[in-house]
Amino acid sequence: MLQFYYNPISPNARRVWLTLLEKGIAFEPILMNLDGDQLQENFLTVNPFHHIPVVVDDGLRIVESLAIMDYLEAKYPQPTMLPSKPQALAKVRMVQHITANELFPKIIALIYESADSPQFIKAIQHIDKVLQFFTEILDNSLYFGSEELTLADIVAGTAVLYLPNLGVSLSAYLKIYEWSERLMQRPVWQKTKISPEDFEQFKRRVRVLVKMHRRELVSKNKSR
């Protein structure tokens, strides 16, 4: 059976978790505590970059959430979550990459930086730009690039749904607000909804990991 290394508070793992559940794929969950399990020798042989999610299926080990989602879509095509028409496919890919490259780093900034810092204010402005762009892409469709749920909705949904908990209201972005409500009505999203306690735990973990990565960067630069 497909093995899935994850933690429910990890947004990257949540993308894959929701894809597995939405597609009804049977899997063996392997819970990883991100306070050290990911650095254990036995996990480093699974993912040398010490990240979740990881999927092992039919003898193939797959890392990187977006690559895993593509694998799941190709191997388990029903229900289809990747449109084939060029324009729709472009919308899906844009939303996935904008979430990973533009939105998510700013969510981390909202958690890590103090509310009166220039970095925090810049993060809020950048998130506004992303939400306006998403409004344009969504247009009058129910989901990104489709009238049915796509991989883009899963990737953007796991990030955008965190925003109200971080003080960014979606009410100024009506179409995005309605889309987020639509997602939350889906049984799988209800079932995996993050609790306030888990969200606090996620924020604590982010602060620790950002500190750790910054320290690693400083020591790398010193050794150059």
Ligand X SMILES: N[C@@H](CCC(=O)N[C@@H](CS)C(=O)NCC(=O)O)C(=O)O
Shortest separation between residue 199's beta carbon and ligand X, angstroms: 14
Residues 6+ apart with CB under 8 A from 33: 7
Nearer to ligand X, 34 or 109 (CB): 34
Q: Is 52 in the site for ligand X (CB under 6 A)?
A: yes
Selected binder of ligand X within 21, 56, 108, 209 (CB under 6 A): 209
Query: What does residue 147 show for φ and ψ, rounded to 5 degrees?
Result: -95, 0
Interface mask toward ligand X for 101-140; x: CB under 6 A: ----------------------------------------
d(CA 189, CA 184): 5
Shortest separation between residue 112's beta carbon and ligand X, angstroms: 14
Nearer to ligand X, 89 or 209 (CB): 209
d(CA 123, CA 106): 5
Kindly report the CA angle at 98 between 92 and 99, in degrees rounded to 5?
Answer: 90
Question: Please, what's the b/e burial string for 118-147 (b: 16 or more CB within 10 A of its CB; e: otherwise)?
Answer: eebeebeeebeebbeebbebbeebebbbbe
Selected binder of ligand X within 4, 17, 20, 51 (CB under 6 A): 51
Shortest separation between residue 12's beta carbon and ligand X, angstroms: 4
Residues 6+ apart with CB under 8 A from 126: 102, 106
| Kind plus residue range of the DSSP H or E element containing 56 | strand 54-57
Interface with ligand X (CB under 6 A), residue total 12
Applying the rule CB under 6 A, the residues between 62 and 91 that interact with ligand X are 64-65
Shortest separation between residue 34's beta carbon and ligand X, angstroms: 5
State the residues that interact with ligand X by CB under 6 A.
10-12, 34, 38, 50-53, 64-65, 209
